[in-house]
């Protein structure tokens, strides 16, 4: 009769330990995956609306990626009018409909390449959307600047986010076309995180879409 040796017992013990670790990892991954999938808020729980949600997310993501690659997205972020010494209008994005009231666009057909593409990709007869720009003014203080606001989101929304890097050498698209490294708080809505680094700051573009 074969009697297990100490080596066999140790091997079995190691095998059981390995199996336990692998099982724990698989359970953890399953939990993380479940959390990931449930953090996305659909328009509703129906199959049809889930399909619409996925479609809207894909369209918005593709539009952001295309305009990021072409430079149109960054140009929109830089389309800012700084302080007006004559006091004619508030600081804000150039070409907005109400320059004396808001710093952001309030209509979906705002005349920038990024917003025009975004508007074309979304069925605005059934959905509405806002665009927010989130950034750090210091290493710990998160700020948010509206780019476009068309209304108040419902409880069920689709949110797509994209981080964008702004460099010191990037130039405002409005007169006098100042480089970011030469701007101050009166010229631009974002301040530099580090005066000595070539990266000016990071911006998270957030598009929030909801059913009307």
Do the beta carbons of residue 208 and residue 132 sit within 8 Å?
A: yes
CB neighbour class for 158 (10 Å; exposed up to 12, middle 13-18, buried from 19): buried
Q: Which residue has the tokens 């879409």?
A: 209
Q: Which of 67, 205, 191, 82 minimizes the C-alpha distance to 137?
A: 191
Q: What pLDDT, on a 0 to 100 scale, did the predictor assign at position 194?
A: 82
Q: What is d(CA 92, CA 146) in angstroms, rounded to the nearest whole number?
A: 10
Asked if residue 42 has pLDDT above 90, the reply is no
Asked if residue 7 has pLDDT above 80, the reply is no
Sign of CA pseudo-dihedral 116, 120, 125, 131:
negative
pLDDT band at 14; cut points 50, 70, 90: low
Q: What mean pLDDT do residues 106-123 have?
A: 86
Host H or E run for residue 53: helix 47-70
Q: What is d(CA 33, CA 120) in angstroms, rounded to the nearest whole number?
A: 33
| pTM as predicted | 0.75
Q: Which of 12, 164, 13 minimizes the C-alpha distance to 75?
A: 164
Phi-psi region of 71 (alpha: psi -120 to 50; beta: other; left: phi over 0): left
Q: What pLDDT, on a 0 to 100 scale, did the predictor assign at position 37?
A: 32
Do the beta carbons of residue 210 and residue 165 sit within 8 Å?
A: no
Asked if residue 203 has pLDDT above 70, the reply is yes
Q: What pLDDT, on a 0 to 100 scale, did the predictor assign at position 207?
A: 96
Q: What pLDDT, on a 0 to 100 scale, did the predictor assign at position 48?
A: 60
Give residue limits of the domains in the chain: 1-39, 46-211
């Amino acid at each position: 009769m074969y009697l297990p040796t100490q080596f066999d017992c140790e091997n079995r013990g190691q095998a059981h330990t390995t199996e336990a670790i692998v099982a724990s990892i698989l359970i953890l991954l399953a939990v993380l995956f479940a959390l990931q999938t449930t953090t996305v808020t659909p328009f509703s729980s129906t199959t049809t609306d889930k399909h619409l949600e996925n479609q809207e997310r894909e369209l918005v993501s593709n539009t952001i990626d295309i305009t990021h690659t072409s430079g149109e997205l960054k140009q929109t972020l830089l389309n800012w009018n700084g302080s007006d010494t004559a006091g004619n209008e508030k600081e804000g994005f150039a070409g907005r409909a109400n320059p004396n009231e808001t710093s952001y666009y309030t209509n979906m057909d705002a005349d920038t390449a990024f917003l025009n593409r975004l508007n074309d990709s979304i069925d605005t007869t059934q959905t509405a959307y806002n665009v927010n720009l989130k950034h750090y003014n210091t290493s710990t203080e998160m700020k948010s600047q509206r780019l476009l606001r068309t209304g108040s989101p419902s409880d069920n929304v689709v949110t797509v986010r994209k981080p964008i890097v702004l460099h010191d050498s990037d130039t405002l698209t409005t007169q006098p076309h100042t480089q970011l490294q030469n701007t101050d708080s009166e010229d631009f809505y974002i301040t530099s995180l580090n005066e000595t680094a070539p990266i000016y700051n990071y911006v998270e573009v957030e598009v929030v879409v909801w059913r009307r």
